[in-house]
Amino acid sequence: MTQQQTAGPPSAGHADLAEEFLDRQTPLSRIRNLLHRYPALSPAIVLLIAVVVFGILNERFLRVENLSLITQQVAVVGTLAIAQTLIILTAGIDLSVGAVMILSSMVIAQLAVSNGVPGPLALVAGLAVGLAAGALNGFLVTRFRLPPFIVTLGTLNIFVALTLLYSGGSTVRGSAMPGVLTWLGSTFPIGPVRISTGVVMMLLLYVVVAFILGKTAWGRHVYAVGDDKEAARLAGIPVSRVLMSVYLAAGAVLAVGAWIQIGRTNAASPNAGVDLNLDSITAVVIGGTSLFGGRGSIWGSLLGALIVGVFRNGLSLAGLDVLYQTLAVGVLIIVAVSIDQWIRKVKS
Amino acid sequence: MTMTEFAASHTPTREPILKARNLVKTFGRVVGLDGVSLDLYPGEVLAVIGDNGAGKSTLIKCLTGAEIPDTGELFVSGQQVHFKRPQDARVHGIETVYQNLAVSPALDVASNLFLGREERLPGLLGSVFRMLDTKGMRRKAKEELTRLGISTLQDVTVPVENLSGGQRQAVAVARAAAFGSKVVVLDEPTAALGVRESNQVLQLVRDLRDRGLPVILISHNMPHVFDVADRIHIQRLGKCAATITPQSHSMTDAVAIMTGAAKA
């Protein structure tokens, strides 16, 4: 019995006395059930502890400018993590998110700068690139039944190559672009804090995706497909269609990520974001979403991205070498997945 | 008196809800079904038994749209139907509880009951924003569970993976029996359960029948079959070896027919 049931209506109490007796709760199992029910809880605790510890280690850490900087640093990874979460929730994985984002950003920048396409139209073209990339991934996963890992490993290389072929390897600087392309790099003041529009855009995406995942049938189907594909199919969910739509949605999110990336770096570079593919997976995993699918929350991924940002920033403020940041992130990943495994043992 | 009742409830002049005629299904050179017919009447539990490879599963899959028979006819309430997908069978009110349970462990009881047929909020919230009517579905889930007499599931917000095997089975059965279905097909519902939980599920089967919902029960467990079944369809080597009742034959007879040691 879960905590909820024992605390539930008295009528539930006498129903299965014997079972309740067998399932005696220890404090540890209570914690596990709680983490199980709220997957974003453990990353939230980690983030809180990290912020407190780094705040004690270095008083500069908790300054508003520094915290604002951290959010700007995680805006791109945080956005890619949205796309990654959607795919990981279906028990997939997308190694190509960073490559798709860069390809999309190059198309946006090149069209606007070299071909004189108006800014908004270039953004629409970038969206089309994201959707096309998602469609390719989704098509290969649903039609040829290839494992997402293999599909996206392949398309990762394809998209990287396409990006270099298309751009000729050259960077497009932000100063040459129409204002709308770099708009997400601008900031506006709220009181003493300067807020980046890119961060606001990322948060907006989180709100929208959280709503869709939590409040619509489609969102529930995404979880169901990741949880148990066969069960979902037997329950009458069009599994292939759901998977396809997930890859398309991820592609659309990545196109917005491309826009944020252009604003953030004030450029479109074909060589940027090599690490972003794995960084997005890191954020999702640390955020408590299970790589086995069907379990997790989109907010956890935001927390995961923030945790990585906070660790990198905090450790460098503490005067530690960059290598220790990478080391710390590595440890975090392994701890996060271990916790996930432990949580999944609830009543298996 | 009892004889007339018996005759009344089993007279062939009544229209079967589900009627299969001469179903044939081959897999390459293997004959899964070799001309099987079956009738399911309102308010009865029809057990389907047979040895491994006798065609039980194939028969059930053909009845529920999971397989398409090569030849043969299928009627629901007298109307001929052609199922191409499980969805088609569902549309005609034939709901199946599969052996592997087809529930989504991480989703809660109410979400599982409504999985694949979620209801949206009325008005703009539902039509434009596609918002689910979570509260409404929970309320209806509770009502359905009460109506079906399932008392072991009080809290519909518990994730299914936190439930015992019997409770999970109850969720799966409730989903099949709820929402105006005409026929419930249960594939080995007690195979993975303990004694007490098996009894709960068998009681559930009786309750469904008493509410007028016919049940097809596939099982290996002879005591369970003889406990709840009104009639027993025995599959052997892709054919229907006999259709018996617990009154007309003993368990030993049934096993003998099943294994070919005796003729029906």
CA B112/CA B103 separation, integer angstroms:
6
Asked if residue A268 has pLDDT above 80, the reply is yes
Best probe of the A interface among B154, B160, B163, by most A CBs < 10 A, is B154
Which residues of chain B does A346 touch, with a Cβ-Cβ cutoff of 8 Å?
161-162
- Inter-chain touch B104–A11, beta carbons under 8 Å: no
List pLDDT tens digits, range A129-187: 999 999 999 999 999 999 999 999 999 999 999 999 999 989 999 899 999 999 998 98
Close Cβ partners of B250 (under 8 Å, ≥ 6 residues apart)? none
Residues 21-50 of A with CB under 8 A from B: 33, 36-37
Suggest the residue from B97, B101, B115, B138 to mutate for an interface test with chain A (most A CBs closer than 10 A). Answer: B115
Nearest neighbour of B154 by CB, restricted to A15, A18, A347: A15
- What pLDDT is recorded for position A247? 98
B109 touches B141 (CB < 8 A): yes
Q: Do A236 and B87 touch (CB under 8 A)?
A: yes
Does B12 have pLDDT greater than 60?
no
Per CB-CB distance under 8 Å, the chain B contacts of A216 are: 129-132
Q: Is residue B115 a contact partner of residue B104, using CB atoms and an 8 Å limit?
A: yes
The percentage of residues in chain A with a pLDDT greater than 90, rounded to a whole number, is 62
Q: Would you state the pLDDT for residue B49?
A: 93
Q: Is the Cβ pair B105, A227 closer than 8 Å? A: yes
Q: Which residue has the tokens 């300054």?
A: A63
Please enumerate in sequence order all residues whose Cβ is within 8 A of that of B222, keeping only pairs 6 or more positions apart, or say none. B49, B251, B254, B255
Residue A246's nearest CA partner among A228, A272, A269, A226 is A226
Average pLDDT over residues A39-68: 90
State ipTM.
0.76
> Cβ B164–A19 below 8 Å, yes or no?
yes
Question: What is the mean predicted confidence (pLDDT) over A308-312?
Answer: 91
Q: Which residues contact A314 (CB under 8 A, 6 or more apart)?
A: A50, A53, A54, A57, A58, A61
Cβ distance of B162 and A347 shorter than 8 Å: yes
pLDDT of residue B25: 93
Q: Do A230 and B132 touch (CB under 8 A)?
A: no
Searching chain A, which residue's CA lies closest to the CA of residue B134? A215
Q: How far is CA B261 from CA A343, B207, B231, B255, in A?
A: 52, 35, 21, 8
Instruction: Tell me which chain A residue has its CA closest to the CA of residue B160.
Output: A347
Tokens at residue A224, please?
């169901």
Question: What's the mean pLDDT when you consider all of chain B?
Answer: 86
Has residue A100 got a pLDDT over 90? yes
Q: Which residue of A has its CA nearest to B157?
A: A4
The pLDDT of residue A4: 42
Closest CA to A75 of A214, A256, A252: A256
For tokens 């899959």, what's the residue?
A: B61
Q: How far is CA A199 from CA A256, A278, A314, A338, B103, in A?
A: 12, 21, 20, 30, 39
Mind spelling out the 3-state secondary structure of chain A?
CCHHHHCCCHHHHCCCHHHHHHCCCCHHHHHHHHHHHCCCHHHHHHHHHHHHHHHHHCCCCCCHHHHHHHHHHHHHHHHHHHHHHHHHHCCCCCCCHHHHHHHHHHHHHHHHHCCCCCHHHHHHHHHHHHHHHHHHHHHHHHHCCCCHHHHHHHHHHHHHHHHHHHHCCCCEEHHHCCHHHHHHHCEEEECCEEEEHHHHHHHHHHHHHHHHHHHCHHHHHHHHHHHCHHHHHHCCCCHHHHHHHHHHHHHHHHHHHHHHHHHHHCEECCCCCCCHHHHHHHHHHHCCCCCCCCCCCHHHHHHHHHHHHHHHHHHHHCCCCHHHHHHHHHHHHHHHHHHHHHHHCCCC
- Interval B55-81: pLDDT, tens: 888 899 899 888 899 999 999 999 999
| Residues from B in contact with A at Cβ < 8 Å | 86-87, 90, 96, 98, 100-107, 111-112, 115-118, 120, 129-132, 134, 151-152, 154-155, 157-159, 161-164, 175, 196
CB B104 to CB A4 under 8 A? no
Cross-chain residue pair B106–A295, CB shorter than 8 Å? yes
Contact with chain B for residue A241, Cβ under 8 A:
no
pLDDT band for A346, please (50, 70, 90 cuts): low
pLDDT at position A198 over 70: yes
Indicate yes or no: CB of A4 within 8 angstroms of CB of B157. yes
Range in A17-31, A101-115, B71-85 the model is least confident about: A17-31
Assign A128 a pLDDT band (cuts: 50, 70, 90): very high
Query: Under an 8 A CB cutoff, do A231 and B101 touch?
Result: yes
C-beta atoms surrounding A248 within 10 Å: 19
Rounded to whole angstroms, how far apart are CA atoms A98 and A104? Answer: 10
CB contact (8 A) between residue A230 and residue B134 = no
User: In sequence order, what DSSP letters do the residues of chain B get, joined into one string?
Assistant: -HHHHHHHHH-TTSPPSEEEEEEEEEETTEEEEEEEEEEE-TT-EEEEEE-TTSSHHHHHHHHTTSS--SEEEEEETTEEE--SSHHHHHHTTEEEE-TT----TTSBHHHHHTTTS--BPSSHHHHTS--B-HHHHHHHHHHHHHHTT--S---TTSBGGGS-HHHHHHHHHHHHHTTT-SEEEEESTTTT--HHHHHHHHHHHHHHHHTT--EEEE-S-HHHHHHH-SEEEEEETTEEEEEE-TTTS-HHHHHHHHHTSS--
| Cα separation, A343 vs B16, whole angstroms | 49
Residue A216 has its nearest CB partner, among B131, B157, B175, at B131
CA-to-CA distance for B11 and A343, rounded, in angstroms? 56
The C-alpha of B175 sits at a distance from chain A's nearest C-alpha, in angstroms, of 9
Q: What is the pLDDT of residue B180?
A: 66
pLDDT band at B253 (very low <50, low <70, confident <90, very high): very high
- Read off the pLDDT of residues B164-197 as tens digits, 9 standing for 90 and up: 877 888 888 888 887 768 899 998 888 878 888 8
User: Between chains, do B102 and A231 touch, taking CB under 8 Å as contact?
Assistant: yes
Q: Across the interface, do A231 and B100 touch by the CB < 8 Å criterion? A: yes
Yes or no, beta carbons of B158 and A216 under 8 Å apart: no
Average pLDDT of the residues of chain A: 88
What pLDDT band is residue A301 in, cutting at 50, 70 and 90?
very high
- The pLDDT of A267-286, averaged and rounded, is 89
Percent share of chain B, pLDDT over 70: 93
A143, exposed or middle or buried, with CB in 10 Å at 0-12, 13-18, 19+?
exposed
**Arithmetic mean of pLDDT, A20-48:** 77
Instruction: Among A215, A292, A344, pick the best mutation site for testing chain B contact (most B Cβ within 10 A).
Output: A215
Do the chains contact at A5 and B115, CB–CB below 8 Å? no
Chain A residues in contact with B161 by the CB 8 A cut-off are 346-348
Residue of B nearest to A235 (CA): B116
Contact A171, A270 (CB under 8 A): yes
Looking at beta carbons, which residues of chain B come within 8 Å of A224? 104, 107, 115
The shortest CB-CB distance from B115 to any of A16, A237, A347 is to: A237
User: Is A8 a residue whose pLDDT tops 50?
Assistant: no
Q: How far is A343 from chain B (nearest CA, A)?
A: 12
* pLDDT reported for residue A25: 67
Beta bridge partners of residue B80, listed in sequence order? B75
- Ramachandran quadrant class, B55 (left: phi over 0; alpha: psi -120 to 50; beta: rest): left
From its phi and psi, is residue B107 left (phi > 0), alpha (psi between -120 and 50) or beta? Answer: beta
Q: For position A324, what pLDDT does the model report?
A: 87
Name which of A8, A36, A216 is nearest B155 (Cβ-Cβ).
A8
What pLDDT is attached to residue A322? 83
The residues, ordered by sequence, that sit 6+ positions from A229 with a Cβ below 8 Å of its Cβ are A91, A239
Q: CB of A205 within 8 A of CB of A81?
A: no
- Asked if A70 reaches chain B (Cβ–Cβ under 8 Å), the answer is no
